[in-house]
Amino acid sequence: MSLETWWLYLGAVVLIACTPGPNVLYVTTRSIRYGLGAAFVGVAGCLTALVLMLTGSVAGLSAVLLALPGAFDLLKILGAAYLVYLGVQTWREPVANEAPPPSTGASAVALLRGGFLVGISNPKLLIFAAAFFPQFIDPARAWGPQFALMVATFVGVELFFYSIYALTGRKLADRLMHGIWRRWLNRVSGVVFMGFGVALLRFKP
C-alpha cells in the first residue's frame, strides 16, 4: 500500500468512525455511569470484537455466512436481540434523586463482555469490511502487511473517537447523573439501543 493510498484509506475510516453507533453509545454511557476507567474497559471489549470481525471478514467468513442459508439471518437476529435487550435494561435502570459518585458496581469482566457483545452483535461489519478493504489493497504487494496496517489504522481511529466520547461523557456526568437528567438519559439511550437493533434486523446484504 502506497502512502497516498493509506491517506485515502485513513480519510475513509475517519468518516466511518466519527459516525455514532452502538459501540459509541455503550462507551459513553459506561463513562457517565461508572467513570473513565470503566469506559476504557468497555472500549477494550469493543476493539477486540472489531479486530475479530475485520479478521473474520477478510478470512472469508462473510462469504461463508452469505453462502449458508439462514446463517447470516441468525447472527443478525441474535445481534438485534442483544441490542434490544440492552436497550430495555438501560431504560429500566433505577434512578436516584441525588447524583451518586461514579459507581464501581460493574466488574471489569462484565464491562469487557458488554463491550465485546455490542461490538460483535453487528454482522454488517463483516460484509462492509469484505467490500471495503479490497479497494485499498495493492495486489502487487504482500497482502499480510497491508492487512495488518489497515486493521491497525482502523483500530487506532476507533480508539481515538471512543476516547473523545468517553471524555465528553465523563465531563457531562455530574449533570446527567442527577435524577431527572439520569432518567432522560436512560430513556433516550434505551430507545437508541433498541433502534439500532431494529435497524440491524432491516439490514439486507
What the block records as the C-alpha cell of 176 is: 446527567
Alpha helix (H) ranges present in the chain? 3-17, 22-34, 36-58, 61-67, 71-91, 108-120, 124-132, 143-176, 179-202
What pLDDT does residue 177 have? 57
Burial environment of residue 144 by CB neighbours within 10 A (0 to 12, 13 to 18, 19 or more): exposed
CA 81/CA 66 separation, integer angstroms: 20
Tens digit of pLDDT at every position of the chain (205 positions):
778 888 888 888 887 777 777 888 888 888 888 888 888 999 999 999 888 888 877 666 666 666 666 777 777 787 777 777 777 877 777 655 444 444 445 688 888 988 898 888 877 677 777 777 777 777 778 877 888 888 899 899 989 988 988 888 777 766 655 556 566 666 776 777 777 777 767 766 5
What pLDDT does residue 84 have? 79
How far, in Å, are 22, 128, 129, 130, 181 from residue 63 at the CA level? Answer: 24, 12, 11, 8, 45
Closest alpha carbon to 144 in 59, 46, 62: 59
What pLDDT does residue 101 have? 46
Assign 3-class secondary structure to 141-167: CCHHHHHHHHHHHHHHHHHHHHHHHHH
Mark 159-196 as b/e (b = at least 16 C-beta within 10 Å). Answer: bebbbebbeebbeebeebbbeebbeebbeebbebbbeb
